[in-house]
Amino acid sequence: MSAMKTAKTTVVAGAALAMSLGSLVMAGPAQAAPAPGTLIAEQALGQYTSTNAEVQKRKYEGDAKGGDSERNNCNFYTGFWTAKANLRWDHTSAPRTGTITNRQACGTSKGYVYIKVNGAWKKTWTSVKWTSRAWCADFAKYTWYWGKANITGLNAAADSFRTYGRSNGTWHPKAQVAANTYRPKPGDVVSYDNNGDGRADHVGVVTSYNSTRKVYHSVEGNTSLEQLTYKKTQPATAGRVLGYTAPKAR
């Protein structure tokens, strides 16, 4: 087990012990809030591993019936960002039917959204209408948002994460990883260039990194499988990898 995983396991175990002891635990010094990277990685993994029936539907493209995979780019995460009732509406729209090759209608499922309730913004478990567009960046941005990272400057374009990193001083090209001057961290977004034009056309959320083997695990939306995918032991300096963007806290 890597040092990173060991440290995380220790923190989780300590938290569980404190909860089990309840009021018997003496109040200690105030603890710093978890770094956004940790929360982001937990969000990404949670989207993939959740047993909640509504969340499980999000793993697949299509009509939100859970397990159906129509491969038409209809998805929950784009629906979240394009919902005008959402406090975090991104001021864009996306169609409620699928792509040119599969025009099946998009579905609806439930999720947490900040919406106006009696004049005040309230986190509410409510219906989200799925919409259709390439959604790897929409998924990554979703995990950053709920992971309490600053998302200013991010949009539905995969390359917006690289631009964000350059603007905020958190962009790390893979050459830094090769030289061991940067080690990807949970919550980082890995950017890929699949067509060789020097720009990111796909992104994923790093959930763990092995510095000895220089491999990472990630959760990625809109993969070649047209669904949310958990990828293991990917080479951190592979040819199509451009680099990594670390999140900044809000």
CB 242 within 8 A of CB 173: yes
Supply the range of the domain harboring residue 136. 36-245
Count the domains in the chain: 1
Whole-number Cα distances in Å, 49 to 42, 43, 218 = 10, 10, 13
- For the entire predicted model, the pTM comes to 0.86
Domain-located, residue 4: no
CB 193 within 8 A of CB 240: yes
**For 69-78, 167-176, 177-186, 190-199, which range has the lowest pLDDT when averaged over its residues?**
69-78
User: What's the pLDDT at 100?
Assistant: 81
Question: Longest Cα pair distance anywhere in the chain, in angstroms?
Answer: 61
Q: Average the pLDDT over 172-179 and give the result.
A: 98
pLDDT, tens digit, 9 for 90 and up, residues 207-246: 999 999 999 999 999 988 788 999 999 999 999 999 999 9
Domain-located, residue 233: yes
Kindly give the pairing relationship between strand 241-245 and strand 74-75.
Answer: unpaired
Tokens of 32: 């710093």
Q: Is 162 exposed, middle or buried (0-12, 13-18, 19+ CB in 10 A)?
A: buried
Domain-located, residue 26: no
pLDDT, tens digit, 9 for 90 and up, residues 115-149: 999 999 999 999 999 999 999 999 999 999 999 99
